[in-house]
Structure formats: C-alpha cells, structure tokens
Amino acid sequence: MNYLILALKRSGQHAVMNWIQAHTNQKTHNNCCFGWEDRKLLTMVGRKEATEGLANIEDFNMDDWKKYDFPLFPFLNEAMVLLVIRSANNWLASCYQRKFQSREEHKDVYKYLDSGYINDRKDSSPSRIDLYVKQLEQLKNKNFMVVEFDKWFVSKDYRKYLADKLHFEFNDVADFSRKYVASNGNGSSFDGKIFDLKADEMEVLSRDKAFVDDKEFFGLSKTFQEKCVKALKKQGIMK
C-alpha cells in the first residue's frame, strides 16, 4: 500500500507522515512537486522518484488533481490519498509566526498567506489561505481520506482509528514517534526542535493565542474564517 499526503506547509503533515512510516517501515519522499507531466512524483530536492512507500506534496493546489490526472499516476495504482488538515486559526498562527524568522526562505509561509505566488514547482499559485480553503472543500470527497491533525495530536483512539483505516496495525512503540519533532522546515515555527522527544507536550492547539493583540493577524483571521465558513456551508457541513 502506497500513501500520498496532500497538505499545506505548517499543517503537521510531516509528523503524521513520520508516524505512518514508523508503523509501516516504508521509504518516504518529501515534497514530490515535479514530474507530474510524465505521471511521476519527483522530489523537489534531488528529483528522486517515488515509486512506492510514502510521498507528500506541500502546499498542494487541489485544482492540479484533475489538471494532471493524478489518479492515473502509477504510484496511485494501489494507494491511499490523505488530506492532512490542521484547524484553521492554529495553522494560520503557525504560518504567521514565520514573519519573525531571520531566515528569509522560511518566511514564504507567511508572505503568501493572502497573495498569489510562485510555488515550489515554479507555477503560479493562489494564496495559501485560498489553498487551505480548496482543501477544505474536499471534506466529502471520497477520493481522499481526511486526517484532522488536531485530533491526531491529542487522541490515541483517533490514531488507532486511522491505523485501521490506513490498513496497518497500531502499536505503542511506533506511536511513540509522535514525540519527535519533525525536522522538515526547521521544526516548529514557535519552538524549533527544543521539544524533541516530547513533541506531544507542545501547545500546538492554542497557537493563535500568541497573536490576540496583533491587528494584522486579526485581519487575516477574519477573512480566513469567512472563507472557511463559506466552504463548509457549500458542502452542507454548516448552515
């Protein structure tokens, strides 16, 4: 069984990916944003092809699913496709925190929250908030298995449920992997890697509280929440 994870940067996707890898012992391929024209998944760094195991694509534009006929990719012949979605305001806060980063290349997740940009595969992309909304619009799409990062983070029962749905046997030793801070993107936006081996103690479910008095964050959050509500109403999830 192959697994393709579609998610946004700062969504917690790498923690989930590492957790699956700990259970399945499969090889991982990070950010396979190239090769799509040839129905291949090639990593951004090194252009290595994912032919089996686990692969992810960061800041994936859901419009590309049909544009490139992803279901016809050989990797997806026997695969499950996961959408890892983090709660809106905590995802926004984790992205916004990168505003204060010293490394310019890590500020992209903040800079393009509300503006279009050139993505990792050098394509024009909608804003990252709009990318989030596009993924939120897929909650009822049976082609994708939605993984709620917040629930995955706090609930062992939910992780057991996911293991069953993903066709592997849950075990406590592999589940310990959630305590490691994923190294991708230099770890947590707030804590870096200082919580390594105790990542389950990080305050990842209340990140937005850090910006309660920040006017820019408030404006972004207001617009973001309005778009999310519209997407949920469109699917009949909210009235």
Looking at the domain assignment, is residue 206 inside a domain?
Answer: yes
Looking at the domain assignment, is residue 75 inside a domain?
Answer: yes
Asked if 150 contacts 205 with a C-beta cutoff of 8 angstroms, the reply is: yes
pLDDT band per the 50, 70, 90 thresholds, residue 177: confident
| Residue found by looking up tokens 């449920």 in the block | 161
Range of the domain at 166: 2-234
pLDDT at 66 over 60: yes
- Overall average pLDDT of the 184-190 stretch: 54
Instruction: Give the separation between CA 170 and CA 168, rounded to whole angstroms.
Output: 6
Asked if 21 contacts 91 with a C-beta cutoff of 8 angstroms, the reply is: no
Dihedral, CA of residue 214, residue 218, residue 221 and residue 225, to nearest 10:
150
- Overall average pLDDT of the 49-69 stretch: 98
pLDDT band per the 50, 70, 90 thresholds, residue 202: low
> 28: which strand partners?
54
pLDDT at 61 over 80: yes
pLDDT in the model for residue 198: 53
pLDDT band per the 50, 70, 90 thresholds, residue 197: low
The residue type at 4: L
Asked if 117 contacts 127 with a C-beta cutoff of 8 angstroms, the reply is: yes
> What is the reported pTM?
0.91
Looking at the domain assignment, is residue 239 inside a domain?
Answer: no
- Overall average pLDDT of the 205-212 stretch: 82
pLDDT band per the 50, 70, 90 thresholds, residue 119: very high
Instruction: Give the separation between CA 148 and CA 132, rounded to whole angstroms.
Output: 13
For the chain, the straight-line distance linking the first and the last C-alpha, in angstroms and rounded, comes to 38
- The CATH number of whichever domain residue 32 belongs to comes to 3.40.50.300
Looking at the domain assignment, is residue 158 inside a domain?
Answer: yes
Task: Kindly report the average pLDDT of the chain as a whole number.
Answer: 91
Number of neighbouring beta carbons within 10 Å of residue 236: 8
Number of domains in the chain: 1
Which tens digit of pLDDT belongs to each residue from 18-58? 999 999 999 999 999 999 999 999 999 999 999 999 999 99
Asked if 39 contacts 32 with a C-beta cutoff of 8 angstroms, the reply is: no
Looking at the domain assignment, is residue 97 inside a domain?
Answer: yes
| 169 or 104: which leads in pLDDT | 169
Least confident of 67-76, 98-107, 142-151: 98-107
Instruction: Give the separation between CA 6 and CA 56, rounded to whole angstroms.
Output: 6
Both tokens of residue 20?
């699956």
Looking at the domain assignment, is residue 187 inside a domain?
Answer: yes
Looking at the domain assignment, is residue 17 inside a domain?
Answer: yes
Looking at the domain assignment, is residue 218 inside a domain?
Answer: yes
| 153 or 206: which leads in pLDDT | 153
- Overall average pLDDT of the 114-122 stretch: 97
The residue type at 120: D
